[in-house]
Amino acid sequence: MHEDHERALKALASRGRLRALAPRRGVDFSSNDYLGLGASPDLAGAITAAIARGVPVGAGGSRLLRGNDPEHETLEDEAARFFGGDSALYMGGGFAANTAIFSVLPQRGDLIVHDELVHASAHDGMRLSKADRVAVAHNDADAFRDAIRDWRKAGRMGRVWIAVESLYSMEGDRAPLASLDQLAREIEAMLVIDEAHATGVFGPAGRGLGHGLEGAPHVVSLHTCGKALGVMGALIVAPRLLRDYLVNRARPFIYATAPSPLMAAGVRAALALSSSAPERREALHERIAIFGAALSGSCGIAPTGTQIQPVIVKSDTRAVWIADALQKQGFDVRAVRPPTVPEGTARLRVSLTLNASAADMLSLVDALSRELQRTEP
């Protein structure tokens, strides 16, 4: 009955690309819990206090029905002020939020020009969009300009939407936001910035790498709440008109049960901590510097300067066996293979968090140096 599915899974296994769920084990070098907030007493206390004041666990329906809780609306008001935007919309997760943005906001006759490495959720949204779309070379502002020029030369007159991540989840590098913002202003384009991996880590009080741009009428930002903020959900920060349009047109918002009001309370607490507890962010940046210096010295790998460090080994099977070897030594490092990353760029994705000490990071570098010198079994 399921022969086709079985053949497909066997084909993935033969290429070293079969995925499987694995338990947490060893020191955390794979999560996105960058500030160690996920299991923190601070957030646990905020959730406990929310329960005590009667905040419900479940929303009970979509927000357009009875699921719109005061915690959702309070969070959105506070988030808009925190990030400096006109308004905010809270959704269940970054994937759904990105899908909503790109499937709904660009219109027929518009163009979405996006970095070739933009997240899968943006791609899914673009597939549902009626707008044209074109990918350009990674972090190349001139490539964005050239693609837009070529589209205009073909007689297209719609609005342009420029789509990037501020900090790329598999590369660990940053988008040229200043150059892209200048381009957007010049041609009256919209700039969509996915801040998923920068929120909480970079910018004043963890407001993200694009903080200085938020609040402008041509900027839409996405801040996920399940990474450095340690909770769950996502906040779209946008001009009020676009927020209202999403509420009326975005199927991932309209037809989904609303996020837990308790999680909204948790995000409120996480945003407050982002402002009041800079020591977490400072400690993370210290560890990023320590790890980067050690990695460069022992492995000859250039550090990204962020909490995401790819170690590209090219071969899918080599990435898997090195990750397995590191896991057996007590380091939770995972292999990332195509199609998540481009062909020929299989890698270890090392994620630096406050769940690992500086000593843990130095020990990982030593183990990684040894494994990289071994031949594949």
Per the structure, the count of domains in the chain is: 2
List the catalytic residue out of 33, 40, 115, 119. 119
State the residue for tokens 């380091």. 331
Higher model confidence: residue 24 or residue 348? 348
Asked if residue 191 belongs to a domain, the reply is yes
The answer on 323 and 237 residing in a single domain is no
Rounded distance between C-alpha atoms, residue 223 and residue 199, angstroms: 6
Q: Quick one: CA dihedral 338, 341, 346, 349, positive or negative?
A: negative
Q: What is the pLDDT of residue 15?
A: 80
The 10s digit of each residue's pLDDT in 29-57 is 999 999 999 999 999 999 999 999 999 99
Please return the burial class of 54, using the count of CB atoms within 10 Å of its CB with bins 0-12, 13-18 and 19+.
Answer: exposed
The 10s digit of each residue's pLDDT in 127-176 is 999 999 999 999 999 999 999 999 999 988 999 999 999 999 999 999 99
List the catalytic residue out of 28, 165, 195, 316. 165
In this prediction, residues 234-241 reach a mean pLDDT of 98
pLDDT at 85 over 80: yes
The answer on 318 and 222 residing in a single domain is no
Asked if residue 321 belongs to a domain, the reply is yes
How many of the other CB atoms lie within 10 Å of CB of 218? 17
pLDDT at 84 over 80: yes
The 10s digit of each residue's pLDDT in 275-325 is 998 999 999 999 999 999 999 999 999 999 999 999 999 889 999 999 999
Asked if residue 361 belongs to a domain, the reply is yes
Has 119 been annotated as catalytic?
yes
The answer on 24 and 45 residing in a single domain is no
Has 197 been annotated as catalytic?
yes
List the catalytic residue out of 28, 30, 32, 33. 32
Rounded distance between C-alpha atoms, residue 211 and residue 87, angstroms: 14
Rounded distance between C-alpha atoms, residue 223 and residue 214, angstroms: 12
The answer on 321 and 173 residing in a single domain is no
The answer on 231 and 318 residing in a single domain is no
The answer on 176 and 226 residing in a single domain is yes
Asked if residue 122 belongs to a domain, the reply is yes
The answer on 49 and 26 residing in a single domain is no
Beta bridge pairs of residue 351: 308
SS3 309: strand
pLDDT at 375 over 80: no
Structural domain for 338, as ranges? 19-34+307-373
Q: What is the pLDDT of residue 376?
A: 65
- Least confident segment among 106-115, 203-212, 366-375: 366-375
pLDDT at 14 over 90: no
Has 165 been annotated as catalytic?
yes
Are 86 and 213 contacting, i.e. CB atoms less than 8 angstroms apart? no
CATH code, 74 = 3.40.640.10
The answer on 316 and 217 residing in a single domain is no
Which pLDDT band holds residue 16 (cuts at 50, 70, 90)?
A: confident
List the catalytic residue out of 71, 114, 195, 197. 197
- Least confident segment among 64-68, 338-342, 373-377: 373-377
User: Phi and psi of 171, rounded to 5°?
Assistant: -100, -30
pLDDT at 113 over 70: yes
Asked if residue 283 belongs to a domain, the reply is no
pLDDT at 186 over 90: yes
Has 328 been annotated as catalytic?
no
In this prediction, residues 268-277 reach a mean pLDDT of 94
Beta bridge pairs of residue 190: 161
Are 187 and 217 contacting, i.e. CB atoms less than 8 angstroms apart? no
- Choose one of 226, 255, 276: the last residue of a domain: 276
- Choose one of 254, 276, 298: the last residue of a domain: 276
Give the angle 321-357-228 at the CA atoms, nearest 5°: 85
Q: What is the pLDDT of residue 24?
A: 83
Q: What is the pLDDT of residue 345?
A: 93
- Choose one of 231, 259, 276: the last residue of a domain: 276
The answer on 53 and 23 residing in a single domain is no
The span from the first CA to the last CA of the chain, in angstroms, equals 36
pLDDT at 23 over 70: yes
CATH code, 351 = 3.90.1150.10
Has 153 been annotated as catalytic?
no
In this prediction, residues 214-231 reach a mean pLDDT of 97
The 10s digit of each residue's pLDDT in 245-261 is 999 999 999 999 999 99
The answer on 129 and 66 residing in a single domain is yes
Residues whose CB falls within 8 Å of the CB of residue 209, separated by 6 or more in sequence, listed in order: 166, 167, 174, 175, 177, 193, 195, 198, 202, 203
Instruction: Look up residue 28 and give its amino acid.
Output: D
SS3 339: coil
List the catalytic residue out of 40, 129, 139, 169. 169
Which pLDDT band holds residue 101 (cuts at 50, 70, 90)?
A: very high
Please return the burial class of 356, using the count of CB atoms within 10 Å of its CB with bins 0-12, 13-18 and 19+.
Answer: buried
How many of the other CB atoms lie within 10 Å of CB of 157? 8
Asked if residue 286 belongs to a domain, the reply is no
The answer on 75 and 110 residing in a single domain is yes
List the catalytic residue out of 194, 316, 332, 360. 194
Asked if residue 142 belongs to a domain, the reply is yes
Rounded distance between C-alpha atoms, residue 319 and residue 335, angstroms: 5
Which pLDDT band holds residue 377 (cuts at 50, 70, 90)?
A: low
Has 227 been annotated as catalytic?
yes
Asked if residue 315 belongs to a domain, the reply is yes
The answer on 270 and 322 residing in a single domain is no
Rounded distance between C-alpha atoms, residue 242 and residue 82, angstroms: 19
